[in-house]
Structure 1
Amino acid sequence: MLEIRAELKGGVKVNAYIAGHEIKTDQKPEDGGENTAPDPFQYFLASLAACTGYYVAKFCLTRDIPTDGIRVVQRVIPDPTGYVDTLEVDIELPASFPEKYREAVLKAGSQCMVKKTLENPPEIVVQTVVR
Structure 2
Amino acid sequence: MAETIEVSFPGGQRVDAAVREFSIATDQSKEAGGDQSAPQPYDLFLSSIATCAGIFALKFCQSRKLSTDGLRLWMDWEPSRSDPSASRVLLRLQLPEGFPEKYRAGILKAMDLCAVKRRIQQPPQFESRIEGG
TM-score range, shorter chain: over 0.9
Give the structure 2 partner of residue 24 of structure 1: 25
Give the structure 1 partner of residue 130 of structure 2: 128
Give the structure 1 partner of residue 57 of structure 2: 56
Q: Whole-Å Cα distance in 2 between the matches of residues 115 and 72 of structure 1?
A: 15
Percent sequence identity over aligned pairs: 35
Instruction: Give the number of equivalent residue pairs.
Output: 131
Question: Is it true that 1:87 corresponds to 2:89 in the alignment?
Answer: yes
- The alignment partner of 2:110 has SS state of helix
Structure 1 gap segments, 5+ residues each: none
Q: Whole-Å Cα distance in 2 between the matches of residues 21 and 58 of structure 1?
A: 23
Give the structure 2 partner of residue 76 of structure 1: 77
Q: Letter of the aligned partner of 1:71 in structure 2?
A: R
Structure 2 gap segments, 5+ residues each: none
Q: TM-score, normalised by structure 2?
A: 0.92
Q: TM-score, normalised by structure 1?
A: 0.94
Deviations 1:68-122 (A, max 9, x none): 1111111111215495711111222134111110000011111000010011000
Q: Say whether the 8 Å CA contact 2:74–2:91 is kept in structure 1.
A: yes
Deviations 1:33-85 (A, max 9, x none): 01110000000000000000101111111110011111111111121549571
Q: Letter of the aligned partner of 1:18 in structure 2?
A: V
| Structure 1 consecutive aligned stretches of length 4 or more whose deviation exceeds 4 Å | none
